[in-house]
């Protein structure tokens, strides 16, 4: 059975979705860069080992990443999962876990990389928004895409209401992505592209606003 380590910085609602999904893997630990992260208590309540590597204790990102990697490697994970981990990782850290490091992002990448995705989507007037689970590369929010979910943008949406609709889908697709990777149903091929042994399904089309 594959082992995963989850990294968080706060409440960890995506982490909680993973813990409750009964995944076919061992969740070895939840690690945070903040000792006051509420998600640590949730992990403990699920009987998951926790650890804190406080970024403020280090002079620079490289030394923090080195210390974080040492703790991660102590659990010997097959997969490292960023679930609301609010730190930009160095190229060295990303390279260390190349092909084993995944993240969830609140937009339909490659659109709206970075922060304030919902505000930017509303400002641009897009009609479809969503979330993406992807492998992490040295380029911010730019790795191979594993799965995406799309939601309509409504005329009366605020950043908060749109974020809530997207978060609901995050909680659905993140466990699915981890389940596929742990079950070796999706992986990175030699060219760094997503490969799969699953049949692709033809789903319904999301059109927003709807057709008359």
Distance CA 11, CA 166 (A): 17
What are the CB-based long-range contacts (under 8 Å, 24+) for 39-47? Answer: 39/8, 39/10, 39/11, 39/12, 39/15, 39/83, 39/84, 40/8, 40/12, 42/12, 42/15, 42/16, 43/6, 43/12, 43/15, 43/19, 46/19
Distance CA 60, CA 77 (A): 25
Distance CA 118, CA 64 (A): 30
Distance CA 141, CA 148 (A): 13
- Mark out the alpha helices in the chain (DSSP H runs): 13-19, 38-45, 61-74, 91-96, 117-124, 159-182
- From the list 46, 55, 105, 134, the catalytic residue is 105
| Residue 105 bears catalytic tag | yes
Q: Which residues are catalytic?
A: 105
């Amino acid at each position: 059975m594959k082992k995963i380590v989850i990294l968080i910085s706060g409440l960890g609602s995506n982490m909680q979705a993973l813990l409750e999904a009964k995944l076919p893997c061992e969740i070895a630990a939840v690690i945070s860069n903040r000792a006051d992260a509420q998600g640590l208590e949730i992990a403990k309540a699920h009987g998951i080992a926790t650890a804190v590597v406080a970024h403020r204790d280090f002079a620079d990102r490289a030394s923090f990443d080195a210390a974080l990697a040492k703790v991660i490697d102590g659990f010997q994970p097959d997969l490292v999962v960023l679930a609301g981990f609010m730190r930009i990782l160095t190229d060295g850290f990303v390279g260390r876990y190349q092909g084993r490091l995944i993240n969830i992002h609140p937009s339909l990448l490659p659109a709206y990389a970075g922060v304030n995705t919902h505000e930017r989507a509303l400002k641009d007037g897009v009609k479809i928004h969503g979330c993406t689970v992807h492998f992490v590369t040295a380029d911010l929010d730019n790795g191979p895409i594993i799965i995406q979910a799309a939601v309509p943008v409504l005329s009366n949406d605020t950043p908060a209401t749109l974020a809530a609709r997207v978060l609901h889908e995050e909680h659905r697709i993140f466990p699915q992505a981890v389940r596929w990777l742990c079950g070796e149903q999706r992986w990175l091929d030699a060219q760094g592209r997503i490969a799969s042994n699953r049949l692709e399904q033809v789903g319904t089309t999301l059109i927003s606003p709807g057709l008359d």
